[in-house]
């Protein structure tokens, strides 16, 4: 086993960076070395605030830093593909925030560049690495729920920052791209088959974004998923898995903490199951180290990310046309 440490650089000073700073500092195989912004003063101020050794005055300067091994791409959604590709071409591995891209051609190009350069590229769905999610997958596989029939999920919060990219459809804004992608990803992970048809409806608002989205997914094996996402409903998130023998409810499905509880209902009785978790974002950091240092496959493959994006795009198309979309 290698003892090498990976040096990370933050591509932007986005708020989500804060979630990664603690796990990077807690990891023995990863080190936060640099941050980049569009101006030198902004980068230096952020570096001082978070005690980051290096501050780069541009994204290009960060990619040119020979000591950086991994880039965390936390730029707005419409810039994910462009700068992930540039990073890989500069010899950097990339952990890219979700959604990894907004079109399938972008993902195909990202995949090609990853193969050509040998650089690891992974999408940052942090919940997929958490012990709670692994426990849910274990329970589903055990058959305790019987045959899975229905999946239900929701993720919403009140959001009204006018100047933010989430409120601009041209920059990949909207509730489905931002938080609806979580129940879609979770449902796909649990269903055990590919989506074959989707139907979506939306309420549009500022700059043509979907402020609220309601969707349905039909899977190849006959499983159905229902979900909703919103920027106008108070904070909530959950998943429910209903099978022929039982129902599993996951109240903190997408942002589980150090200790969580899920409930299993069978034969009219409900059992509360305690799950010893860990820091939410440490999993994706260690997953990248496993891939780069040990040559292991990332938990979320680029094929998986492509399939999730295809599902989201199908849902958006359905909402625009008012008709189901075959995938």
Q: Note the pLDDT tens digit of each residue in 11-43.
A: 999 999 999 999 999 999 999 999 999 999 999
- CA dist 69 and 51 (Å) reads 19
Degrees, nearest 5: CA angle 113-116-122: 50
* Side-chain half-sphere exposure of 10, counting CA atoms within 13 A: 27
The correct answer on CATH 3.40.50.720 for the domain covering 6-124 is: yes
Least reliable range by pLDDT among 72-81, 206-215, 260-269? 206-215
The enclosing H or E element of 294 equals helix 282-294
Pick the CATH number of 127-280 from 3.40.190.10, 1.10.1060.10, 3.30.360.10, 3.40.640.10: 3.30.360.10
Mean pLDDT across 142-170: 93
Cβ atoms of residues 250 and 238 within 8 Å:
yes
Q: What per-residue confidence (pLDDT) applies to 101?
A: 98
Residue 137: how many CB atoms within 10 A of its CB? 14
**Same fold across 6-124 and 127-280:** no
Query: pLDDT class for 207, splitting at 50, 70, 90?
Result: confident
Q: What per-residue confidence (pLDDT) applies to 312?
A: 98
Classify 151 as helix, strand or coil: strand
Predicted confidence (pLDDT) at residue 310 exceeds the cutoff of 90: yes
Mean pLDDT across 203-221: 93
Cβ atoms of residues 320 and 314 within 8 Å:
no
Predicted confidence (pLDDT) at residue 194 exceeds the cutoff of 90: yes
Query: pLDDT class for 189, splitting at 50, 70, 90?
Result: very high
Cβ atoms of residues 216 and 226 within 8 Å:
yes
Classify 6 as helix, strand or coil: strand
Mean pLDDT across 57-77: 98
- CA dist 79 and 308 (Å) reads 18
Residue 112: how many CB atoms within 10 A of its CB? 12
- CA dist 238 and 259 (Å) reads 16
Cβ atoms of residues 282 and 151 within 8 Å:
no
Mean pLDDT across 167-174: 92
Question: If you search the block for the tokens 């079109």, which residue do you land on?
Answer: 103
- CA dist 85 and 92 (Å) reads 10
Query: pLDDT class for 160, splitting at 50, 70, 90?
Result: confident
SS3 per-residue string spanning 192-223 = CCCEEEEEEEEEECHHHCEEEEEEEEEECCCC
Q: What per-residue confidence (pLDDT) applies to 16?
A: 95
Average pLDDT, the chain: 96
Question: If you search the block for the tokens 């890989």, which residue do you land on?
Answer: 88
- CA dist 224 and 314 (Å) reads 15
pLDDT in tens, 218-248: 999 999 999 999 999 999 999 999 999 999 9
Predicted confidence (pLDDT) at residue 163 exceeds the cutoff of 90: no
Mean pLDDT across 250-255: 97
Instruction: Give 208's contacts (C-beta < 8 A, 6+ positions apart).
Output: 169
What DSSP state is assigned to residue 279? -
- Predicted structure pTM score: 0.96
- Peptide bond just before 207 cis, omega within 30 deg: no
Q: What per-residue confidence (pLDDT) applies to 2?
A: 59
Q: What per-residue confidence (pLDDT) applies to 77?
A: 97
CA-CA-CA-CA torsion for 217, 169, 61, 67, nearest 10 degrees? -20
pLDDT in tens, 74-124: 999 999 999 999 999 999 999 999 999 999 999 999 999 999 999 999 999
Query: pLDDT class for 55, splitting at 50, 70, 90?
Result: very high
Domain boundaries, given as residue ranges, for the chain: 6-124, 127-280
- CA dist 190 and 240 (Å) reads 11
Cβ atoms of residues 174 and 210 within 8 Å:
yes
How far CA 189 is from CA of 128, 136, 308, in Å, comes to 9, 10, 10
Q: What per-residue confidence (pLDDT) applies to 162?
A: 77
pLDDT in tens, 79-92: 999 999 999 999 99
Pairing of strands 93-97, 70-73: parallel
The residues that are catalytic are: 98
């Amino acid at each position: 086993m290698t003892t090498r440490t990976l040096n990370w650089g933050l591509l932007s000073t986005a708020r989500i960076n804060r979630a990664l700073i603690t796990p990077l500092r807690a990891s023995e195989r990863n080190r936060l070395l640099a941050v980049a912004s569009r101006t030198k003063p902004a980068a230096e101020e952020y570096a001082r605030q978070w005690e980051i050794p290096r501050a780069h005055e541009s994204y290009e300067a960060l990619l040119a830093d020979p000591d950086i091994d991994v880039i965390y791409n936390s730029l707005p959604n419409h810039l994910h593909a462009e700068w992930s590709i540039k990073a890989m071409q500069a010899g950097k591995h990339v952990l890219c925030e979700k959604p990894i891209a907004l079109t399938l051609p972008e993902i195909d190009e990202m995949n090609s560049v990853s193969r050509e350069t040998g650089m690891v590229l992974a999408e940052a769905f942090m919940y997929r690495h958490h012990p709670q999610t692994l426990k849910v997958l274990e329970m589903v596989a055990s058959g305790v729920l019987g045959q899975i029939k229905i999946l239900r999920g929701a993720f919403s919060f009140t959001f009204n920052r006018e100047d933010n990219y989430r409120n601009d459809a041209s920059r990949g804004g909207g509730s489905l791209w931002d938080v609806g992608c979580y129940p879609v990803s979770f449902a796909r992970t649990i269903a055990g088959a590919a989506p074959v048809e989707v139907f979506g409806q939306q309420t549009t608002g500022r700059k043509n974004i979907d402020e609220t989205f309601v969707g349905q997914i039909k899977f190849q094996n006959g499983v159905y998923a229902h979900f909703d996402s919103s920027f106008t409903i108070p904070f909530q998130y959950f998943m429910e898995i209903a099978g022929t023998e039982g129902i599993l409810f996951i109240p903190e499905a997408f942002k589980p903490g150090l200790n969580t509880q899920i409930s299993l209902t069978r034969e009219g009785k409900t059992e509360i199951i305690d799950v010893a978790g860990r820091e939410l974002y440490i999993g994706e950091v260690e997953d990248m180290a496993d891939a780069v240092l040990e040559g292991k496959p990332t938990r979320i493959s680029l094929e998986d990310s492509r399939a999730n994006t295809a599902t989201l795009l199908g849902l958006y198309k359905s909402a625009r046309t008012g008709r189901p979309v075959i995938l």
